Copies of this chain bind each other. A is one copy, B any other.
């Protein structure tokens, strides 16, 4: 998606060790118009999947997931990283390694909002190692829901997430793919 690629080239920064700073338009300051365009593109790509719910993880997945869900006219569920007091005692919980924090984080979903028969489209900001998305998949499977597709704004192809998720047998769509971040470069390329 050219719009997103150009924005990364303009405002993104390679901080080294595979870390891409996009906090001027995705995950601290957010450009809602860009997110809306990305959501529209996801809605187009996933139109035929008959999803009934968009699933993501707090925090930075929320903006692209809501934009996508608005265009698809679906609810969003975002997995919480700590259990709020408004949630029932019995929850779906899994652990996933945090890429940027270097620790394991919890992903928690209330059984009130993830059910057997749900057709789940996962949307997140990054597809890197795939471990957060894999955690969301485990939660969906535990609930008896079906996974129908996976979308990410930005894929870092060199971290292997697509290979990890491919056996799930669902469409995986990234709006831009970064194939290398050697030095201070950000190199875009094909997503496969």
Binding site for B on A (CB under 8 A): 15, 19, 21-25, 27-33, 35-36, 58-59, 62-63, 66-67, 69-70, 73-78, 80, 82, 84-87, 100-101, 109-110, 112-113
Contacts and interface: CB of A to CB of B under 8 A. Distances in A.
A-B complex: 7 closest residue pairs judged by Cβ atoms: A32-B70, A29-B113, A21-B86, A32-B69, A30-B76, A29-B77, A32-B66
Contacts of A110: 23, 28
A86 B15 contact: yes
Among A22, A82, A112, the one with the most B-chain Cβ atoms within 10 Å of its Cβ is A112
B28 A77 contact: yes
Contacts of A109: 28
28 contacts: A15-B86, A19-B86, A22-B86, A23-B110, A23-B112, A23-B113, A24-B112, A27-B84, A28-B86, A28-B110, A28-B113, A29-B76, A29-B77, A29-B112, A30-B66, A30-B69, A30-B76, A31-B75, A32-B67, A32-B70, A32-B76, A33-B73, A35-B66, A36-B70, A62-B62, A63-B66, A82-B101, A84-B100
